[in-house]
Structures are given as structure tokens and as C-alpha cells.
Amino acid sequence: MCGIVGYVGIQSASETLLEGLRHLEYRGYDSAGIATVWEGELHCVRAKGKLNNLREKLERIEMPARIGIGHTRWATHGKPEECNAHPHRDQTNRVAVVQNGIIENYRELKQELQAKGYTFVSETDTEVIPHLITNLLDQMQSANELVDYTSPLTEAVRRTVNRLEGAFAIAVICKEYPDELVVARQQAPLVIGLAGGEYFCASDVPAILPYTNTVVKLENGEMATLTPLGVAISSFAGDRIIKYPHVLKGNRMTADKQGFRHYMLKEIHEQPDVVRDCLSTYLSSQSKGSPIALGLPDDLFTDLQQVQILACGTSWHASLVGKYLIEQLASLPTTVHYASEYRYAPSPLLPQTLMIGVTQSGETADTLAALEMEHKRRTQRSTEFRPRLLGITNRPESTLAQLVPHLIVTPAGIEMGVAATKTFTAQLMAFYILALDLAARRQTLTPERMEEIVVGLRHIPTQIEQVLYQQSTVIEELSHRFQETQDFIFLGRGINFPIALEGALKLKEISYIHAEGYPAGEMKHGPIALLDAKVPVLTIATPGAVYDKVLSNAQEAKARDAQLIGVAPQDEQTAELFDVLLPIPKVEEILSPILTLLPLQMLAYHIAATRGLDVDQPRNLAKSVTVE
């Protein structure tokens, strides 16, 4: 995914664009660039690599313009080189375009434009857009075509977007129309910010929030023209659309590190409050009646026979915990699919199924496409197959929110670190409460057992604080030991197996150390061959059905000289077994994942920080992937 911004108003455009891009860098950081219009000329500056490279270049250039567009890139078409960085321009340096998404039919368009004499200088799909716009402007001008209801630039962009296939959001400026910024959206997010005499556009609200919290969201098939005098919205068909702005409510939407060295560390430390917010959002404060306050309608659950969950990455790991909870607490068969796999090999349809799409960003292309496909498949069948779609997301304004009729919003606030931490925890909380809701409706738990679990959940925030407080320094010191480690194994079982997967993913993502998460009981069927004194084995063991078995699995690793790290409650057995014990409070196994997760997040963080790596912006990754 990439980030786009645009500005028209009374301040310096380049500074406003840079500030906006700073808040969008989590979306990609392979290159960045801005274009402005000043004194009838288009000025474009781009740089390979992170935003700082662009900032340094801009310091040497005077750019007093009051209109401009900017982009931060996660490479899809073409290497992360300056020539492929946005904005892209036509060959006469008349039109500049930034794009987030993919233009699927760019090859045909490119051939058509090349045949007309247009030359291409990048490997990107985006470059067709400025050429198309300039070609249409030329055609309109030479035919002396009167566009009495709109500006020629808006009309040229409108005709252009009607020729594009794929998912995209674009922002366009043109040197002949120095007060017009034209934007369009088709299945990629785009929000417009309104402040007196200043208008903004961006892929995500954090880029706009420093200036205004009054916004208008564009929907698919909508475009807008922003001038210093206002915003005019229309459809791709050219019809005027009337929309009213809304005011964003403030929450932890801060892009400030608040004294922490990295966003990731700050976000790890925000988890106690995130869990508190989840509890107050999802649980009723009434002493009588059901404790659940998810507000989901009864007909979503009537005669339910199974749950199917679709997700990618960390959200997929949270979904595996969700499966455990739904099956064990509500006795409902549940499957979890990688959305990218499901799209091309969907399960045969079973009736009375609740489909849950889990995506923190609400923008992951595979998850959205798999849900859409499922909706279509089910709509074509009889009523018992009717689609029952539920989304779990951290972004209530996302594309997912428009796609599904029911949502559980995780109140984690914006997450800037590319590696998910607090949003994962919030997803787990959503699954706890959903599983309890299902259990209550299906009467699979007694009210006393429900109450016991709810009380256990209410203790989690202080227990998280305890773990963070006790272990931060210990883990920081421990991380030095693993600076040069090449392979790591994470073992867990039952509800903690997905936590082992998540711990391994965190380490891979930000420290570039190879790591594998494995169900502890499966180690003997393969990974045990990898073990020697150089391989640390981190084992999650919490008292419950398989506690002794997991400790035996750790013994087997110890017998092969592996360095043993334990994430377990402190007792005689664990203190003796593990070379290093990272103790967690003694809680019921079913409540343990949010606590066992913490040492794994901190270990990954500190190893990466000790290795001097860019924790918040690891190489090759983006916060969410809006392409297939």
C-alpha cells in the first residue's frame, strides 16, 4: 500500500505535504515525492528511500507553492528507484499524479498511448494516468469542447478514471489550473479534510488530523475538485453529489512517540489501556442481564452451524485464537482461512454460516476480495445460505466497514509501527467477547462460568502492567545475547500455539532473524532436527490441560543443547527447567494469551533495536497490503 496526500490553501504546500507524508509513512517507505504548481510551472521533487531523503532534498530548494500532492510508496510495479517514485508526470511536465493502488489495464493503455507518441520513463502502472489526462486535455482543447458544468481538468480526470480498471485512489494537479486539486477514489481509501480556506486529501486521517478533524469520505466511484474556495464532489458518471462533512472524534489517534524510542515500544505499552477500552466498549456496565454489549443482531446468530474466519498476517493469528475460543466456549465448529488462499480455493458452501473478516486496517485486498466473493456466492443460493457477514477492524471508516453490515470495532487507536502489537491484543479481546456472546446465546456456559471469565478479563490490564513493568529491563538486557542468532524456535500449544506463531512473526518482521512457531507436540516430527546450542527455543507453558506435556517438550529441546527460554508462571519446576524464565502471572490457560504475548513482543522489539534496525519501518513491509 502507498500513501497519498494533497493540499490547496494558504500555507506552504511542501511543508504541509511533508508533514502529511510523515503520518502516512507506515503505508510504505520505498520512496517519496511531492509536486507543486508555482508561477505557472509544475515542480516535482522525489527521492528513493525514506521520507528523510526527500526532506533533505527539499531543504535545498525553495518551494513557495500553495497547492501540491505527495506520495510515499510501497513498490508494486517497478523497483524502489527514484524513476518509479511518485508523482508521475506527462512528458511535457504539465500534469502530475500520485496514486495508491493498482491499475490493472495499464499495459493496454500504455500501448495505446505509446502508439500516439507518448514516451514512458518509469516501470509503474501509474504513469499512464498523467499521459491520459494530458491527452484528453489536448483533445478537449483542440475540439474546442465546452465543458460548462465543470472545469476542464476535472472533466479530463473524470474521463480518465472511467478508462482505468483496478483499485485506486489518485490526486492530480496541472500547471494550467493552479488552484485545482482533483482526486478520485475506486476501492482505495481517500478522505478529504476541510479547514477554513484550506483543503486536504489523504489516504488516511492521521495525515489530516494535525490541521482539521472535519472530514468528508469519498466512496467508490466518487471524485472531488478541491480549490481554495471549496470542494465539489461528483460521480465518475459526472453527476453532482451532495455530502456533508463529519467531525472525527478524538481517541489515541496520535502519531507522536510520546518519549518512547519507537512507535512499536509505545504501542506495546499502550496495551493495558487498549484492553481497558475494549472492556468498557464491549461489556455492559449494568449489573443485571447479559454482560455483553456488542450490539449484534439476533438474526446474525440464529440456527448457526459454523463460523468461518478470513484474515491475513497477524490478524490470521488472532483469528486462530478466536477459533479456539469460539469452539471451546460456544461449541461452534470454526475454521480459519488465509484470505489469499481462500479466494482461489473456497470451501464448499455450508448453510447457516457466520463469515468473519478480520483486518486491523480494513483495507487488506485479499481479505476484502475473499469476503466479497463469499457474499456473492451465498447471495446466489437459497435463504439458508444467506450471507451473514461480520467484520473485526480497528478502522471504522475503512473499506471493510462499507463491505460488511456488522462490525466489531477494536478501540486500539491508530497503530503506527508496521508490526502489529496493540491491535492484535484488541482483536483478541474482540474474540473473547464474541465467543462469550455466542456462548450466552447458545447456552453453552453457565452464568457463573461466564462471570468467572469476565472477571478474569477485567484483571488483564493490571496484569499486563505488571509484566511490562517487571520484564522490560530484563528483556532488553537479554536481547544482547541474541544479536547474532540466526534461528529461533517458538513453541506453544492449544490457545498459545497462535501466540508462538505471532512471536515468531514479530521477530522475523523486525529483526530479520529466521524464526518458526510450532505446536510444541509437533516439534519431534521435524524441527527437533534443527536444534543445537546455537538455537534458542522459546516455550510458552501455562497451567492447563497440556502444561506437563509442554514442559516435557521443552525438556526434549534441552536434551539437544538448545538454549531454553520459558514464558510461564514462576514455580520450582519452571525455574529449574528454563535457562531464562520470563515469568507471567498465574492465570487460567484460556485467559493467558494476552499475557504470554507480551514477552514475545518485547523480545522481538529489543532484539531488533539492539541490532540497530528500523523497528517501525522494517524492510519490504507495509502496514497493510492493498494489492493482491
Residue closer to ligand G6P, measured from CB, 319 or 592: 319
556 C-beta neighbours (distance < 10 Å), count: 15
376 is catalytic: no
From the CB of 312, what's the least distance to ligand G6P, in Å? 4
What DSSP line would sit under 498-522, residue for residue?
Answer: HHHHHHHHHHHHHH--EEEEEEGGG
> CA 348 to CA 350: how far, in whole Å?
6
Residue closer to ligand G6P, measured from CB, 312 or 412: 312
From the CB of 360, what's the least distance to ligand G6P, in Å? 4
Residue closer to ligand G6P, measured from CB, 222 or 415: 415
Report how far apart, in Å, the C-alpha atoms of 41 and of each of 36, 67, 151 are: 8, 12, 19
Residue closer to ligand G6P, measured from CB, 135 or 425: 425
Buried b (16+ CB within 10 A) or exposed e, 468-494: beebbebbbebbeebeebebbbbbbbb
Residue closer to ligand G6P, measured from CB, 18 or 608: 608
> CA 49 to CA 73: how far, in whole Å?
9
From the CB of 381, what's the least distance to ligand G6P, in Å? 27
State phi, psi for 335 to the nearest 5 degrees: -120, 150
From the CB of 114, what's the least distance to ligand G6P, in Å? 35
Residue closer to ligand G6P, measured from CB, 364 or 539: 364
**Residues near ligand G6P, by CB under 6 A:** 312-315, 359-361, 364, 367, 418, 420, 621, 623-625
Provide CB contacts within 8 A for 103, sequence distance 6+.
109, 125, 126, 128, 129, 164, 165, 166, 168
Provide CB contacts within 8 A for 97, sequence distance 6+.
69, 86, 87, 88, 89, 126, 129, 130, 133, 170, 171, 172
28 C-beta neighbours (distance < 10 Å), count: 27
107 CB-contact burial (10 Å; exposed 0-12 / middle 13-18 / buried 19+): exposed
From the CB of 28, what's the least distance to ligand G6P, in Å? 11
**Amino acid (one-letter) located at 368:** L
Residue closer to ligand G6P, measured from CB, 212 or 361: 361
From the CB of 102, what's the least distance to ligand G6P, in Å? 16
From the CB of 179, what's the least distance to ligand G6P, in Å? 36
Provide CB contacts within 8 A for 86, sequence distance 6+.
2, 4, 31, 33, 46, 71, 73, 97, 98, 99, 124, 126
Does residue 230 contact residue 194 with C-beta atoms inside 8 Å? no
Residue closer to ligand G6P, measured from CB, 234 or 314: 314
Grouping H, G, I as helix, E, B as strand and the rest as coil, residue 282 is helix
Provide CB contacts within 8 A for 257, sequence distance 6+.
263, 266
> CA 17 to CA 233: how far, in whole Å?
22
**Amino acid (one-letter) located at 219:** E
623 is catalytic: yes
Length of the chain in terms of residues written: 628
What DSSP line would sit under 339-351, residue for residue?
Answer: HHHHTTSPPPP-S
Residue closer to ligand G6P, measured from CB, 388 or 623: 623
Give the N- to C-terminal CA distance of the chain in Å, as an integer: 10
Spot the catalytic one: 2, 201, 278, 312. Answer: 2
Q: Where are the alpha helices (DSSP H) in 199-312?
A: 263-269, 271-282
Residue nearest ligand G6P, Cβ-based? 313
Q: Which three cell numbers stand for residue 450?
A: 461466564
Q: Which residues are catalytic?
A: 2, 623
